[in-house]
Amino acid sequence: MREKSGKRGSTAPWVTKLLGHMGATSRGLTIIARWITLRLMQMTIEIPAKLAKQLEPERERLAEIIARGLRRTWSGGSTLRREVISFLARRPAAEEIIEFRPSERASARARELLRRNHGGALTPEEEAELDELCELDRFVSLIKAEVLARRAAAA
């Protein structure tokens, strides 16, 4: 910011006064300035042409897509994730894998998220949770398909 005197790098008097009332220090100014810079950062990345074609219709939502992707972690997590991890840790037999179903609690949560999604009422956190549930569903489906393929090959 510039003061009226035109010195570069100095803080405008109103910012100094505001931060003084907040108990901020000059170090706090630096952090705030960096935060503002990061919020306005532009970035250029190189991606494969196929991915670029997929993202083109979503151009206006790229920041949201990246933010949602960064929120996903494998720590803590949903009821379903804990159920799947616990189930697989027991080293289930092929038949148990094929018969695996989520608990009523996990199923009810998924139904609720789907209902709210249909109405367009999901928060960003709920969108991330629904994305995770969909990924887990695909993951378990792939495992079941592999078990069935191996069973068919052995027969």
In this predicted model, what pLDDT tens digit does every residue of 58-87 receive, in sequence order?
A: 888 887 777 767 765 544 578 898 999 999
Here the tokens at position 13 are 């008097």
Q: What is the pLDDT of residues 16-70, one digit of tens each?
A: 444 454 444 444 444 444 444 445 567 788 888 898 888 888 888 887 777 767 7
Q: What angle do CA 135, 51, 84 make, to 5 degrees?
A: 10
- Structure-token match 């804990």, residue found: 82
Whether residues 55 and 87 fall in one domain: yes
> Which CA distances in Å does 4 have to 10, 13, 17, 32?
10, 9, 15, 21
Give the pLDDT of residue 143. Answer: 96
Whether residues 65 and 122 fall in one domain: yes
Closest to 125 measured CA to CA, from 80, 79, 70: 70
What's the structural domain count of the chain? Answer: 2
Whether residues 4 and 62 fall in one domain: no
Whether residues 99 and 53 fall in one domain: yes
Q: Please, which residues have CB within 8 angstroms of residue 132's CB and are 6 or more apart in sequence?
A: 72, 77, 78, 81
Q: Which structural domain range is residue 19 located in?
A: 1-41
Whether residues 27 and 54 fall in one domain: no
Whether residues 22 and 57 fall in one domain: no
The pLDDT of 115-130, averaged and rounded, is 88
